[in-house]
A and B are shown apart, each in its own frame.
Chain A
Amino acid sequence: MTRALTDRQGRPVIVVTGMGLVTSLGWGKSQNWSRLIAGHSGVTPITRFPTDGLRTTIAGTIEAAASSTYSAFALSLAIAEAAADEAITQAGIGSPGRFPGPLLIATPPSELEWPQLRKLYEAAAGRDKSGYERLLGAARSGTFSELARHIEFASIADAVQNHFGTTGEPLSICTACASGASTLQMAAERLRRGDAEAALCVGTDATVHPEGLIRFSLLSALSTRNDVPEQASRPFTRSRDGFVIAEGAGALVLETYAHAKARGAAILGVVRGAGEKADSFHRTRSKPDGSAMIGAISKALRDADATPEEIDHVNAHGTSTPENDKMEALSLAAVLGSRLAEVPVTSNKSQLGHTLIAAGAVEAVIAFLTIGNGVIPPTINHNDPDPDLHLDVVASTARAAQVRTVLSNSFGFGGQNVCLVLAGEP
């Protein structure tokens, strides 16, 4: 049987040849995978900063090298580079510092954090003024130019591009908590169009700092089950009370099948299709009829030329918020119909927490590991299934299953909905 280099619509088949992963469970795919299928949790009490007075004091943080001082920029960059390095090494593509294609990267907000603002405020240069004029006075002295990288939106992309030698103009993408999935969608589009033969997709987010946490906390989006951190994230249960903020990075090397075969690369999987649909209902909530989520799932299946019967696993967005899990279950039922009863569903966020901007890329890596290993990581803490959500959740322990095709969902604030159909080698 010939392995077609084009799909049913005559477009180049897009394959994955390298993957990298950093999460609160560990550095690298191997450590992550063994802990995922063992049902571990990466959620712990926050020690990075004082948490007194906060409603939520837990997170899925990543510990960087002991010598480094935390900043969202520094840690987001460090884990992005670690994940990308693992992916490129596995793909064996290009040569060191010369990746033969563009970078598409999902990055967290670029902003000054409080230690940096305080440093500026304490500087001698602006002391005769107050407030922002004082900060500007310090900035004008020119001695704080190293802080510019924190507020330049291209800075993480720029550093990753310098490191790996990706080509052309890198894209820094923000579709909120769907951003990681958007990097895969937009890379697949570029490869299908023939604009490139390979692309490096990265999603990264390390924004567990006081203001980052408090913003979500004030939206009542976060779990407040601080006493037993590893049990706080409990997607699709009756007792779910919010998501757990977490850090992570996922990286994938995408290529056209023709390009990968020509260089003899091992194929880890196929990006069969992607779909996105924007919501107009509310800044943090979806349309009550689920039409935007339903639209994104339907468009992904259509783009992949996949029927509901072909989907044999759902890697859910599954944040553990009352709103998301209800709407996601409703939308899955609307599109997959009777097939849904036969489809095991899991949420990696039960173990990792919600890696926000990175989630779509992190979970795509896990979906491909699921396909490759024939094991679905569990949704832990699933002790009281929500009786209104009719899902076959992979509860508590990993499940062996032949998985050919996965639907991976990512939904974000601002009405962002991106779904991917990921599959094994043709």
Chain B
Amino acid sequence: MADAVDVWVTGIGLVSSLGEGTEAHWSALSSAGVTVPRIDVDRFPPYCVHPLADGLNVNRLIPSKADQKQMGMWQRQGVHAAGLALEDAGVLGNEPLLDRTELVVAAGNGERDEALDSRILASLAERSADEAGSALNATLMAGLRPTLYLGELSNLLAGNIQIVLKVTGSSRTLKGEEIAGLSAFEDAARRIETGDATMVLVGGSLNAERHDILLGCELGGNLWQQPFVPVWQRAEAGGGFVLGSAAAFVVLEAAPHAEARGAKPYARLAGIGANRARREAKGDIQTSLAGVLESIGSAGSRAPFAVLSGASGVEPATSEELAFLRSIGSERSATGLRAYGTALGHAVEAHFPLGVALACLALHRSGFYPPFESSDIEQPIESVPDSILVTCVGHWRGEGLAIVERVSAAAGGAV
């Protein structure tokens, strides 16, 4: 669209296994040498997870203990990251502005009461089918906490952000694993481009350290069961992802609105698009991604881009994505490929928001990330990228791409 409003990222909030905030993430991920990820191999054998960094203190941004009690961990870390993003954008507590700020969240379900579920399953196992129904009713009536129910609604991460942080322009929650994260950004960006929104808080959150989420993932055969190896190194053993606890939110803002209030951009979201292949034939994913790149490739400058890949490690999606990235022509040559899931784990709905945040950080800091693994797939680069392609290939459905670019000084956005 010729007269589309520029979409800037003016705030970032991050929480992960590497810590909290932009500085912690940049310093951990940009230091020379292959990053050694933080992994917990003991709690969920045979699975490993990237656990949330120790000592996350949510009291500052979620001061009410009553609010904290209403939330599962995915919500607490999500609200916290959302608060960090607002703070970073300089709008935390600015209620008149937040009352006009839109909210788009990518989310799955809440967290189940694992102890209650286990108790019920053990007790039902000894009963006949007829008895089991009545016993289930009685145990659930006595044991379920109403607040747990609220925790299970997908839109209650958004609801808690509204209550705690007062972001109340509007609120939308999108579901659907990885691609929900991209769809959330796409919805937000398109509304800003067309003038339907000026500021949107967008992101997601995942608590990986739970049996219930591992169970859901394992039913589909998606979990990596062997000792940890980087994302690109799992194909031969059948592939799989290692979940990582993380929350990532960004503030997307219409450039004129940001300029008017003196806010500086990390970067601009130059293009974003998604598609959904049926994945019936080999190459479907690659073809789908090529189509998306063609549809958004004209966005922004023609500079070659570095790639922050959201590849999960699940096959065949990861191998097909790699084939796609290697096939990108010389016109927009992709250099400096990095699968950030190696460093942070796979964050499902929050994974794409995480990738956008890392892309913005690199552009803002005028650098890039050294390889996250030692292989010929991830090579060091000398140049500083002006443009970063962030990929989002759902482990079972949905393919999408975004191009994040440096805001030129001429555009008034030098930082």
Residues of A bordering B, CB below 8 Å: 49-55, 107, 109-112, 114, 117-118, 121-122, 130-136, 139-140, 142, 144-145, 147-148, 151-154, 157-158, 161-162, 168-176, 182, 186, 189, 193, 195, 210-211, 214-219, 276-284, 292, 412-416
By beta carbon, the residue of chain A nearest B214 is A136
A173's partner among B114, B175, B400 (CB-CB below 8 A) is B175
A154's partner among B133, B168, B397 (CB-CB below 8 A) is B397
Asked if B190 is an interface residue, CB under 8 A from chain A, the answer is yes
- Chain A min CB distance to B351 (Å): 14
- Chain B min CB distance to A423 (Å): 21
- Chain A min CB distance to B291 (Å): 10
By a CB distance below 8 angstroms, the chain B residues around A110 are 108-109, 175
Chain B positions 197-231 with a Cβ under 8 Å from a chain A Cβ = 211-212, 214-216, 218-221, 225
Asked if B134 is an interface residue, CB under 8 A from chain A, the answer is yes
- Chain B min CB distance to A317 (Å): 16
Contacting pair B394 A154 (CB below 8 A): yes
Known: A195-B190, A414-B153, A414-B155. A152 touches B172 (CB 8 A): no
By a CB distance below 8 angstroms, the chain A residues around B138 are 53
By a CB distance below 8 angstroms, the chain B residues around A136 are 211, 214-215, 218
Asked if B171 is an interface residue, CB under 8 A from chain A, the answer is yes
CA distance A215 to B214 in the complex (A): 23
Contacting pair A415 B175 (CB below 8 A): no
Query: Which stretch from B82-90, B156-164, B241-249, B339-347 is at the chain A interface?
Result: B156-164
A50's partner among B137, B179, B191 (CB-CB below 8 A) is B137
By a CB distance below 8 angstroms, the chain B residues around A122 are 125
- Chain A min CB distance to B215 (Å): 5
Contacting pair B149 A151 (CB below 8 A): no
- Chain A min CB distance to B101 (Å): 10
Asked if B366 is an interface residue, CB under 8 A from chain A, the answer is no
- Chain B min CB distance to A291 (Å): 9
Known: A136-B214, A145-B221. 19 other contacts (CB 8 A): A51-B137, A53-B134, A107-B175, A110-B109, A122-B125, A131-B122, A132-B212, A135-B215, A139-B219, A142-B221, A148-B219, A153-B109, A161-B276, A171-B174, A193-B190, A215-B149, A280-B162, A414-B150, A416-B171
Asked if B234 is an interface residue, CB under 8 A from chain A, the answer is no
By beta carbon, the residue of chain B nearest A284 is B150
Show 24 residue pairs from A and B whose CB-CB distance is below 8 angstroms, ordered by the A residue: A110-B108, A110-B175, A136-B215, A142-B221, A148-B220, A151-B109, A153-B180, A158-B276, A169-B182, A169-B274, A171-B176, A171-B187, A172-B175, A173-B173, A173-B175, A174-B107, A175-B172, A186-B172, A211-B140, A215-B148, A277-B168, A279-B168, A412-B155, A413-B155
Known: A52-B137, A414-B158, A414-B159. A283 touches B109 (CB 8 A): no
A140's partner among B134, B162, B196, B225 (CB-CB below 8 A) is B225
By a CB distance below 8 angstroms, the chain A residues around B136 are 114, 210
Contacting pair A132 B114 (CB below 8 A): yes
A413's partner among B159, B177, B190 (CB-CB below 8 A) is B159
CA distance A211 to B103 in the complex (A): 29
B220's partner among A111, A121, A152 (CB-CB below 8 A) is A152
Q: How large is the interface on B (under 10, 10 to 19, 20 to 34, 35 or more residues)?
A: 35 or more
- Chain B min CB distance to A71 (Å): 14
Quick one: CB contact mask for B56-100 with A, threshold 8 Å, 1 for yes?
000000000000001000000000000000000000000000000
Asked if B233 is an interface residue, CB under 8 A from chain A, the answer is no
Contacting pair A111 B152 (CB below 8 A): yes
Chain B positions 237-276 with a Cβ under 8 Å from a chain A Cβ = 274-276
Contacting pair A54 B141 (CB below 8 A): yes
By a CB distance below 8 angstroms, the chain A residues around B109 are 109-111, 151, 153
- Chain A min CB distance to B312 (Å): 14
By a CB distance below 8 angstroms, the chain B residues around A170 are 176, 276
Contacting pair A169 B179 (CB below 8 A): yes
Asked if B31 is an interface residue, CB under 8 A from chain A, the answer is no
Contacting pair A174 B154 (CB below 8 A): yes
Contacting pair A219 B149 (CB below 8 A): yes
B172's partner among A173, A193, A210 (CB-CB below 8 A) is A173
By beta carbon, the residue of chain B nearest A53 is B137
CA distance A169 to B278 in the complex (A): 11
By beta carbon, the residue of chain B nearest A107 is B175
- Chain B min CB distance to A282 (Å): 7
CA distance A50 to B211 in the complex (A): 29
Contacting pair B179 A278 (CB below 8 A): no
By a CB distance below 8 angstroms, the chain A residues around B158 are 278, 414
Contacting pair B174 A172 (CB below 8 A): yes
Asked if B13 is an interface residue, CB under 8 A from chain A, the answer is no
- Chain A min CB distance to B273 (Å): 9
Contacting pair B176 A172 (CB below 8 A): yes
Name the residue in B117, B180, B216 with the highest tally of chain A Cβ atoms < 10 Å from its Cβ. Answer: B216
By a CB distance below 8 angstroms, the chain B residues around A111 are 109, 152
Asked if B146 is an interface residue, CB under 8 A from chain A, the answer is yes
Known: A145-B219, A215-B152. A283 touches B176 (CB 8 A): no
By a CB distance below 8 angstroms, the chain A residues around B177 are 152-154
Contacting pair B107 A121 (CB below 8 A): no
Name the residue in B190, B214, B396, B397 with the highest tally of chain A Cβ atoms < 10 Å from its Cβ. Answer: B397
By a CB distance below 8 angstroms, the chain B residues around A112 are 215-216
- Chain A min CB distance to B47 (Å): 8
Name the residue in A53, A118, A182, A284 with the highest tally of chain B Cβ atoms < 10 Å from its Cβ. Answer: A53
Contacting pair A169 B149 (CB below 8 A): no
Name the residue in B156, B158, B171 with the highest tally of chain A Cβ atoms < 10 Å from its Cβ. Answer: B171
Contacting pair B159 A415 (CB below 8 A): yes
